[in-house]
Amino acid sequence: MKTRELGKSGLQVSALGLGCMGMSQSFFPLPDRKDMIRLIHEAVDRGLTFFDTAEVYGPFVNEELVGEALAPYRQQVVIATKFGFGINDEGGLTLNKMNSRPEHIREVADASLKRLGTDVIDLFYQHRVDPDVPIEDVAGAVQDLIKAGKVRHFGLSEAGVQTIRRAHAVQPVTAVQSEYSLWWRRPEEGLLDVLEELGIGFVPFSPLGRGFLTGKINENTSFEKNDFRNAIPRFTPEARKANQALVDLLTSFAGRKGATTAQIALAWLLAQKPWIVPIPGTTKLSRLEENMVAADVELTADDLNELNEAASAIKIQGGRYPDELEQKTGL
Residues labelled as active-site residues: 57
Taking the C-alpha atoms of residue 79 and residue 69, their distance in angstroms, rounded to an integer, is 11
Whether the bond between 278 and the residue before it is cis, its omega within 30 degrees of 0, is no
Distances (CA, A) of 181 to 213, 262, 280, 289, 329: 9, 11, 11, 20, 17
Taking the C-alpha atoms of residue 125 and residue 174, their distance in angstroms, rounded to an integer, is 10
Q: Are 46 and 1 in contact (CB under 8 A)?
A: yes
Taking the C-alpha atoms of residue 179 and residue 16, their distance in angstroms, rounded to an integer, is 15
Taking the C-alpha atoms of residue 137 and residue 146, their distance in angstroms, rounded to an integer, is 14
3-state secondary structure 144-155: HHHHCCCEEEEE
Distances (CA, A) of 97 to 105, 302, 324: 14, 46, 12
DSSP 69-129: HHGGGGGG-EEEEEE-EEE-TTS-EEEEEE---HHHHHHHHHHHHHHHT-S-EEEEEESS-
User: CB-based contacts of 164: which residues, under 8 Å, 6+ apart?
Assistant: 156, 173, 176, 194, 195, 198, 200
DSSP β-bridge partners for residue 218 = none
